[in-house]
Amino acid sequence: MTHNQSYEKNMEQVFNNVCDKVLSDLRNDEHLTISMKGERSHFIRLSKARVRQAGIVCDADVGLNFIENGRSAWGGVTFSGNKEVDTQRVISELERLRREVSQLPEDPYVIIPKKGDSSREVYKGNLLSEADVVDALLPAIHGVDLAGIYASGVIFQGTANSAGQRHWFSTETFSFDYSLITPEEKMVKSTFAGTSWDQSRYEKKIKQSKREIKIMEQPVKKVKPGTYRTCFGPAAVADLIWMFSWEGLGEGDIQQGKSALIKMREEGKTLSPLLTLSEDFRDGTVPKFNEYGELSSDYIPLILKGKLVNTLISSRTAKEYQMKSNYAPEEEYQRSPRMANGTLDKDDLLKELGTGLYLSNLHYLNWSDNIGGRVTGMTRYACFWVENGNIVSPINNMRFDDTIYNFFGNQLEEVSSNVELIPDVSTYEGRQFGGAYVPAILVSSFTLTL
């Protein structure tokens, strides 16, 4: 058993022991959901292709959702993995919530824990040993200026409630999020990630980035504001897809009239028949249960051949608007989005593009007109001018402003036949599960504004 697996096993055992004690001591008319998320991760920070910092992070937090007499309160504590210490911490936090909840107003949409099905999913990866990481990473990046963060290890999440329902999920993953940098500080950004380390795939990925950084050393083509035939790489497509999590696919946002997809619901507007988007948990990189312990289906179609067929509906929204929940998180964001592949071979993307833009990354995305589905942001990193199917030069950073009803709608021409995992590499509150599975796309027109 590896260090990751031993740590995760102990945390699961202690979590279950703490839950047994705390939940068994609840009073009449009290309801409680206890959730935990944690990790054991090996981090390496690199700058100028050299290791600058390395270490192990072991961290976990527990959240409590306490309900009494139609009133609810949330709280949380850090989790050490020591049964006695953690039991006392959780009991103390529960006592605080008991004092607090009586001062709160009744919540008409409070979600009482239900029994439901329990689950346990443990996915083991094939990761580099901590002793082998440096030797695996450094030879391939010799001779370039690279900055990045390598992260690897186990991430886990569990819930237990007063109705007797329990869930546990853990997975072993890695990611190497990096940028190659020219002397003029132009950059190529990429990520190599997965559950099983493949040295040859890693070296192939780095070689591709090295080819792109050579092109970035060429003189910049100053692109003027206007509309351009454009190819979006998978990372750029992922940035656009994640926008649907923010006042997009949430049923509550549609009901409140602030969703970017409201025209699809109220006016029958459609996107391209080439666009199919789903919430897909079948790859096993993201837990299916939400903060209430409710289990989603393995697969939920959201946009099917350009038509909105489902939204993300939390139990709270369902209660408020008399609907059926599909057990989305309370904030109704995507957890495991997958855009369906098309038929265009990835090696033919630039040939089909002909002359125009290749955008590998986007940045600073925001809605500029929510109801109109209009997105604004910046081109960033390896974005190129292409002529006759060949990359010619990097372009200057440009602001774009266009609507999903164009680039995901009537302007969408082709979708690549391969789908890539673009992982969520954020670590603000710990390493994150999963990412977005997306193809590259080709659009006939995309608007740059500044």
Looking up residue 64, the CATH number of its domain turns out to be 3.30.2290.10
Residue 148 lies in a domain: yes
Picking from 198, 216, 234, the residue at the C-terminal end of a domain is 216
> 10 Å Cβ neighbour count for 214?
13
For the segment 340-362, what is each residue's pLDDT rounded down to a tens digit? 999 999 899 999 999 999 999 99
Residue 321 lies in a domain: no
- Residue 143: pLDDT band (50, 70, 90) is very high
Question: Do 55 and 169 reside in the same domain of the chain?
Answer: yes
What pLDDT does 428 receive? 83
Residue 95 lies in a domain: yes
Amino acid at the residue 191: T
Residue 37 lies in a domain: yes
Which pTM value belongs to this model?
0.94
Burial class (CB in 10 A: 0-12, 13-18, 19+), 142: exposed
DSSP 21-63: HHHHTPPTTEEEEEEEEEEEEEEEEEETTEEEEEEEEEEEEEE
Does pLDDT of 402 surpass 90? Answer: yes
What pLDDT does 1 receive? 82
For the segment 236-277, what is each residue's pLDDT rounded down to a tens digit? 999 999 999 999 999 999 999 999 999 999 999 999 999 999
Question: Do 140 and 237 reside in the same domain of the chain?
Answer: no
CA distances from 259 to 31, 149, 241, 265 (A): 33, 35, 14, 10
Question: Do 36 and 142 reside in the same domain of the chain?
Answer: yes
Residue 295 lies in a domain: no
Six-digit token string for 429:
């509150």
Question: Do 350 and 210 reside in the same domain of the chain?
Answer: no
User: How far is 24 from 95, CA to CA, in rounded Å?
Assistant: 15
Average pLDDT of every residue of the chain: 96
- Residue 284: pLDDT band (50, 70, 90) is confident
CA nearest to 361, candidates 186, 224, 162, 138: 186
Q: State CA 279 to chain mean position distance.
A: 12
Question: Do 24 and 156 reside in the same domain of the chain?
Answer: yes
Full 3-state SS string of 68-108 = ECCEEEEEEEECCCCHHHHHHHHHHHHHHHHHHHCCCCCCC
CA distances from 280 to 124, 211, 298, 355 (A): 20, 34, 6, 35
Residue 221 lies in a domain: no
Question: Do 402 and 279 reside in the same domain of the chain?
Answer: yes
What pLDDT does 115 receive? 86
Average pLDDT over residues 89-112: 96
Ramachandran region, residue 365 (left: φ > 0; alpha: ψ -120 to 50; beta: rest): beta
Is there a contact between 293 and 63 (Cβ–Cβ < 8 Å)?
A: no
Contacts for 242 with CB less than 8 Å, ≥ 6 apart: 334, 337, 365, 436
What pLDDT does 429 receive? 85
Residue 319 lies in a domain: no
For the segment 213-247, what is each residue's pLDDT rounded down to a tens digit? 999 999 999 999 999 999 999 999 999 999 999 99
Query: Which residues constitute the domain of residue 346?
Result: 226-290+300-311+333-448
What pLDDT does 441 receive? 98
CA distances from 300 to 117, 253, 308, 340, 450 (A): 18, 18, 12, 13, 38
Q: Which residue has the tokens 């999913």?
A: 121
Is there a contact between 411 and 443 (Cβ–Cβ < 8 Å)?
A: yes
Question: Do 206 and 347 reside in the same domain of the chain?
Answer: no
Question: Do 158 and 271 reside in the same domain of the chain?
Answer: no
For the segment 368-392, what is each residue's pLDDT rounded down to a tens digit? 999 999 999 999 899 999 999 999 9
Average pLDDT over residues 26-45: 96
What pLDDT does 214 receive? 95
Residue 325 lies in a domain: no
Question: Do 124 and 273 reside in the same domain of the chain?
Answer: no
- Residue 427: pLDDT band (50, 70, 90) is confident
> 10 Å Cβ neighbour count for 185?
7
Domain total for the chain?
2
Question: Do 405 and 304 reside in the same domain of the chain?
Answer: yes
Question: Do 249 and 211 reside in the same domain of the chain?
Answer: no
Is there a contact between 75 and 110 (Cβ–Cβ < 8 Å)?
A: no
What pLDDT does 268 receive? 95
Picking from 216, 250, 270, the residue at the C-terminal end of a domain is 216
Question: Do 168 and 252 reside in the same domain of the chain?
Answer: no
Picking from 150, 185, 216, the residue at the C-terminal end of a domain is 216
Give, for 172, the enclosing helix (H) or strand (E).
strand 166-181
Q: Which residue has the tokens 């690279």?
A: 146
Average pLDDT over residues 289-304: 95
CA nearest to 272, candidates 205, 351, 340: 340
Residue 377 dihedral angles phi and psi, to the nearest 5°: 175, -165
Average pLDDT over residues 126-141: 97
Average pLDDT over residues 314-338: 97
What pLDDT does 42 receive? 98
